[in-house]
Structure 1
């Protein structure tokens, strides 16, 4: 399945759904028969967004069917359309139009992620959690997961790294009290103590990303850590691409990162077969 085409190619509108009858079945399903998708990565929904959608549904109805898979004759699992289902329930609709699709487990996660990323962006932490699900629950490495989501592998890995931050910093990022730019600068600090110190400065001094970078750079210059070379960064990128995961190079050390036992096993196989 080509994931880069967007949900428009996967979920037809009500006007075009009749043309797709030979491939999938669209029908009105009682809202009480649709159970949530356990892989839904998004946990927070804007009240304003839902209010706008509720008013639109009351005026025009649901123009794009939900996507579900059938569990039994009377129950369906939601694959994509969480906001539309929530809004329909609040608006008091007894049924919703749904496209019934026989989706494999991995496809459900992919479709749910794609819809949320394209329709109403996940906050960076929710996006990272969704990425981690692909790795942990379905045995994908960074390169494979990034390809399925249609994004560059470094972008996938950098977003996933946000989960390395302390919980209070992750919450601040999810709540938009700091930006993803702030978070990336904090990730470059050597330990949690330093990360929390500068996180506190962001809030008390209202540091922009530029000012935070300057403050951190000043701290780095005062330390005695060796300066990284362009060659070391190039080697990191080459190894990351070859192994499909994050690789960091320190003086006399190479660190290969993995996020699940399955990914570790896959890394060992790659190193053995490629003689890396």
Structure 2
């Protein structure tokens, strides 16, 4: 997934740390020292958010001469972008790698927008204090243990939500055809959420949309970027995260509320997506809250 990382490795950048954070998110910390070198990125196929941790004062993008990097400056590089860079001096930076699908779900849930309209903007050396602080915190935090990765996963998702709001743009080729109307999308999202514990069927959702199962499946995928089963699976995970974070409900109750067959099924699915068991996830969040309270006191 991280072909930007492969480009850096071929350019003799040093990979200090790398981790898969769950949910197909990945993070890396790089260091690079060079007198002057050209680096080229050619449609890497995944989005990249870059945050400078140190240095970069003489690094510039060729189409933007005279604009240079610096600590806390950010670059958003969409998966289909092409760019050439002059790299000079010392750089220490963090990358967060993610897929276009990470924006798809958020566009519907958080912005109530047609997801095919939006993509990550191509931005060089922009400033956003909140995103930069989260990136620097993520780069400084441990990623090795399951609890560490869970905290990193939470931070990465927060960064993506902020990035969607601040750096999403309408696609140039966004001719929307064949999908569901906005009102129907909202109706389906609300219906799935209200019936998540019992798993709505394809026929049930198709009837709600007044379509055949075949046409509904195609139009749902066109609008949401994934089939209904994948969307429902993501909604289950999101609700489970929320309940683990905000309640003390036992795992078997959360499993039932989220539509899993039983606690074992829930644990298997949650671990596969997030990287740790539900109770480990809850412990990690509780530990973070306890530390935050100590800092306040």
Q: If each structure's helix is expressed as a fraction of its own residues, which one has the higher value? A: 1
Q: TM-score, normalised by structure 2?
A: 0.29
Q: Whose radius of gyration is greater, 1 or 2?
A: 1
Structure showing the higher strand proportion among its residues: 2
